[in-house]
Amino acid sequence: MRNPIETFVHHAVAGVCFLLVTLIAAPSPALASSAGEAVIVRTRDLDLTTDAGARRLLRRLDHAIDLVCGGSFLQQFSAARRAHATCYESKMSETLARLDAPLVHEQYTRQSARTRQRTRNRQS
């Protein structure tokens, strides 16, 4: 049985049916379809008090933010790659700040550290 805090967190998070990842300003018209675009990310089916639930939501957020920021074949060009990375970081930070799910934030921090390390290794 869960302790009362875990139960409260689970119900509070489960009560939020949707998490909107909102695009405030597109980095470029070629990279995103329109300012104000939103992608609906389902959270109701996830238990964000578990690592598995946090990882699954992070994958969903990754996909949604990639769509909002215009991730595509255009990323092969350095300017598009930089614009996408800037948009992605901004949107993920905004979304995680609104989401009361510490495990999701923790998973993202670990994932980001691994990505930065791989990037440094490739540049060496």
pLDDT in tens, 18-68: 444 443 333 433 333 444 577 888 889 999 899 999 999 999 998 888 888
pLDDT of residue 24: 35
Question: Hey, which residues does 19 pair with through a beta bridge?
Answer: 41
pLDDT band, very low/low/confident/very high, at 2 (cuts 50, 70, 90): low
pLDDT of residue 124: 66
Dihedral sign, Cα of residue 84, residue 87, residue 93, residue 95: negative
pLDDT of residue 15: 42
Distance CA 113, CA 100 (A): 21
Looking at residues 61-87, what average pLDDT do you find? 78
Domain ranges of the chain: 4-116
In the chain, the DSSP E strands lie at 18-22, 38-42
Phi-psi sector, 36: left (phi>0), alpha (psi -120 to 50), beta: left
pLDDT of residue 57: 92
